[in-house]
Structure 1
Amino acid sequence: MSLTTTPLSLFSHARPVAAATGAALLVLLGGALAAQPAQAAVNPTIHMTHGVEYMSGGIGQDEAQLMETVSPRWPASFEFAIKDGRRADFAAGVHVTVRDSHGTALLDNVVSGGPFMVARLEPGRYEVEARIGGQTLRQTLQVSPGAPAKAVFEWPAGTDMASAGTRTVR
């Protein structure tokens, strides 16, 4: 065998059918491996309460990227973090309540599955509460037609994380 031997010539001593079968197997195997994604991100589950769809997640780089990609397609998005000035810990397990302008809770104490949450809220003004441990932050959120609204909740370093999870971001 010479140094210029091609992979197909390795089968030259076998019958032509075996050579073709071996070559086809190599092509199929190579194509199948190339077609597989390194790791496919799975969409977090969409939940519904009081007629409002919402989704939360962002644990892990793939899921965080997915949540950031889909958030502009949802009328409202929320982000949760604990900051100390130089770095941030993304927070999960945040208890979220969203009330409409009449004070009716549309999302009532739902727990985020990660540092990002999106919701299909109708245009209007909402009061949003986000709670980690014993510390609650409140913001007003104005949802306008065709323009996604975002609220970022940042607790100071040292926030009691007894009932929530975190992930450091640098």
Structure 2
Amino acid sequence: MKQKLIWRWLAVITTVGCTQLAWAGMTALPAAQHAGPVTYVSGGVGSDESQAIKEAMHNYPLVLEFAGRTSYGNEYLAGVPVKIVDAHGKTVLETSAQGPFLLVSLPAGRYAVSASYGEKTEHRSVSLLPSGHVREFFLWQM
């Protein structure tokens, strides 16, 4: 009888512990945002949030990463204005990245991406296929 009670308590403790770990993992990813039909996640500040975003990258066709080069090495940037324009010249997303990562769900096609830091704007042309994803790294000299 005593052994059954111990096993039940271990099961309860394990269940509660696993639930808390799962909840912690779910809350580390910033909430998805929407701009018309475009869904995006922006962030990556802090190790938990950064790890959650890295784990979610494969779910998004376009991954943008922002950093600045200093004399000490590369440092992640936040607050980077981003604009994505489709092949017809229509702006499909205009936002400010809340961290060093911006994950964007867009349909397959060609897009022009621009990102700014300070007075400098970087431009990229990307082609998204129906499967897979494209990752672009923006690096500014600071």
Q: Specify the TM-score bucket, using the shorter chain as the normaliser.
A: 0.7 to 0.9
SS at match of 2:77: strand
- Among 103, 111, 115, the alignment partner of 2:96 is 111
SS at match of 2:24: coil
CA deviation vs aligned residue, 1:29-57 (integer Å, no higher than 9, x gap): 865775443x8142211111132111111
- Among 66, 69, 93, the alignment partner of 2:79 is 93
Cα shift at 1:77: 0.8
Cα shift at 1:67: 0.7
CA deviation vs aligned residue, 1:144-165 (integer Å, no higher than 9, x gap): 11120111111112xxxxxxxx
Distance 2:12 2:61 in 1: 44
Distance 1:94 1:28 in 2: 47
Percent identity over paired residues: 29
CA deviation vs aligned residue, 1:59-107 (integer Å, no higher than 9, x gap): 1001101111111111111000002375211001111000011111000
Distance 1:96 1:111 in 2: 6
Distance 2:139 2:24 in 1: 30
What stretches of structure 2 of length at least 5 have no aligned partner? none
Preserved CA contact (<8 Å) 1:141 1:150: no
1:81 aligned onto 2:62 = no
Aligned partner of 2:58 in structure 1 is: 72
Equivalences, count: 138
Question: Hey, which of these two has a bigger chunk of helix by percent?
Answer: 2
* Structure number with larger C-alpha Rg: 1
Distance 2:130 2:63 in 1: 14
- Among 101, 107, 115, the alignment partner of 1:122 is 107
Question: Hey, which of these two has a bigger chunk of strand by percent?
Answer: 2
Q: TM-score when scaled to structure 1?
A: 0.69
Q: TM-score when scaled to structure 2?
A: 0.82
Moved segments of 4+, more than 6 Å: none
RMSD: 2.6
Distance 2:55 2:96 in 1: 21
